[in-house]
Structure 1
Amino acid sequence: MRISAKADYAVRAALELAAAGDDISLKAETIASAQGIPHKFLEGILGDLRRGGLVVSRRGGNGGYRLARPADTIAIADVIRAADGPLVSVRGVRPPELSYTGPAQSLLPLWIAVRANVRKILDEVTLADVAAAALPDEVVGLAEDREAWTNP
C-alpha cells in the first residue's frame, strides 16, 4: 500500500477541520497555510471530500469548510477513499477482482490479507483519535515496534 500525496493532504486537511470543531468553518487558504498544502491542489481535494459527504462548504465572508459530521464518526479510511479511491489495489485493480494461476495462485489471499490489515487500522482510527493524539492501543503498539520504523 502506498499513501499518495493527495491522500496525505486530504487527511491533514480533514484533521485541521476536526481540530477546529463542529461549528467552525475554515477557509481553504487557512488550511493550506497551516498544513503547507498547495492552495489550488487543496481546493480540488476539498471538492473530493465534499462530494464524498465528508465536508460541507459555505460561500461568503463567513464561509469556508467544516466537517459534515462529527470527527469521531469519520474514519481515516473514509478520507483516503474519498480523495484517492480504494485503500489497496494491485495494478489499479481491487484484490477480489484478481485471479492468478500456478505458483502465483496464493498471491490472492496474500493481497486480501494485506487489504484486511490496512482496513483494520484505517477503518478503526477516526479523525478525532488522531486530532486528540489518542490513537488506539493496538496502533500505538504497532508503531512502537522498532522494525516498523526501518526500511529494509
Structure 2
Amino acid sequence: MKLKEVNHRSNDFFKILPQDWQEIIRRIWDKVKSTSTIYAIVEEDSIIAGGIVFNEKLPEMTEFEIERGQPFFDLDYGYIGFLWVAESRRNEQLGTKWLSLLKGHNLKQGFWLTVEEENLKKFYEKNGFKTIAQSEDKENMEWLCVYEPDIKQY
C-alpha cells in the first residue's frame, strides 16, 4: 500500500467523506488548496482512505484551534484534517496505515490535529500523538494532539 498525493482528484476524495464534512471542505477548498495536500490510499483507482495536511490556518477553525495550534503552524507542523476511511473498508486499520504512511513519507515533519471525541484522542495516542491541550468548553470538548518526529535518528 502506498500513499498518493491526490489534489488533482479532490472531488473523488470529498465523495468518501460524510455529508457535513463534504459541505465544509467544498466551501473552503478553493481558499486552502494551494497550501494543502490530500494524501490517499488508492486501490484499483478507488480512494479507500485519505486525509488532508494543511499548512496554514483554515477559515473555519475554532478559537481553541487557532489559539493553541498557531505555535505549531509557526514550527511548520502540518495540520491533519478530514482523515476518513471509506465505509466499505472499515475495520481494516486503514486509518492507522494512513498515519504510518504519512509519517514515513515526511520523516522530519511534525503534525498536529484536534479531535472532539475522546475515543479519537485514544486512536491518535495509539498512533504516536501526544495530547497536549484540552479546551475549557465542557459542552464542546476538544483535544489538541501533536506528533513530533524523532529527529535524533537523522
Provide the TM-score with structure 1 as the length reference.
0.31
Give the number of the structure whose alpha-carbon radius of gyration is greater.
1
Larger helix share, 1 or 2: 1
Provide the TM-score with structure 2 as the length reference.
0.31
Larger strand share, 1 or 2: 2
